[in-house]
Amino acid sequence: MKRDALVKETREALAKTGFFLSRPHGERGLCFDLVARRDDTLLIVKVFQNVDALSKETAQELKAIARTLEGSPLVVGERSGTGSLEDGVIYSRFGVPILCRSTLLEFLEEGVPPFLFSAPGGLYVRLDAAALRRMRDERGLSLGALAEIAGVSRRTIQMYLDGMAATLDVAMRLEDVL
């Protein structure tokens, strides 16, 4: 999809879900493509076909504008150098969240936030540490027993209980048992 079409579809998705949008500016070289507001939510949005085009300088400018306006920076894209961006995954580059358009639309329309995020080493999910602790206590599982179920060390289980994210495969093993 061409960049202009992607910008147009992103604008339409935001407008459809109740956001008021800035006028299209058509200027190249700006660090943002549109500004969207709904209630107390202000998004400063940059759209790329390939998110690898996001430079550190553009990300810093995007974050500075968002901070100044008390909003949130957001990049919407289709792919990176490694392939298409996956649905339901939050990516990050230079501290700016990156979503594909379908993930943004699902979140805006259905209120389903992406639960996976990409980081070096793969896809990760934030565990509900309180629920994990409660299930461990209810079932009388030791750290070692839970570690064996998850296929990780006892220290890693302790880190999950302290709020560390888990890889998708570990989270799925824990979910199957608990």
**pLDDT 10s digits, 141-163:** 999 999 998 999 999 999 999 98
Q: Do residues 142 and 81 both lie within one domain?
A: no
Q: Do residues 40 and 113 both lie within one domain?
A: yes
- The pLDDT of 7-35, averaged and rounded, is 88
Assign 118 a pLDDT band (cuts: 50, 70, 90): confident
- Please count the structural domains in the chain: 2
Q: Do residues 77 and 131 both lie within one domain?
A: no
Q: Do residues 162 and 74 both lie within one domain?
A: no
CATH number at residue 110: 3.40.91.50
Residue pair 114/89 in contact by the 8 Å Cβ criterion: yes
Boundaries of domain holding 144:
127-177
CATH number at residue 166: 1.10.260
Q: Do residues 39 and 85 both lie within one domain?
A: yes
Q: Do residues 12 and 54 both lie within one domain?
A: yes
Whether this prediction's pTM lies above 0.85 is answered by no
What residue has token string 């070096």?
120
Q: Do residues 93 and 135 both lie within one domain?
A: no
What are the Cα distances from residue 64, in Å, to 30, 59, 67? 13, 9, 5
Q: Do residues 84 and 107 both lie within one domain?
A: yes
Q: Do residues 87 and 170 both lie within one domain?
A: no
**CA-CA distance, 176 to 178, in Å (whole number)?**
6
- The pLDDT of 110-115, averaged and rounded, is 80
Q: Do residues 109 and 133 both lie within one domain?
A: no
Whether the per-residue pLDDT at 28 is higher than 80: the answer is no
What crossing angle do the helices spanning 168-177 and 143-150 adopt, rounded to 10°? Answer: 120
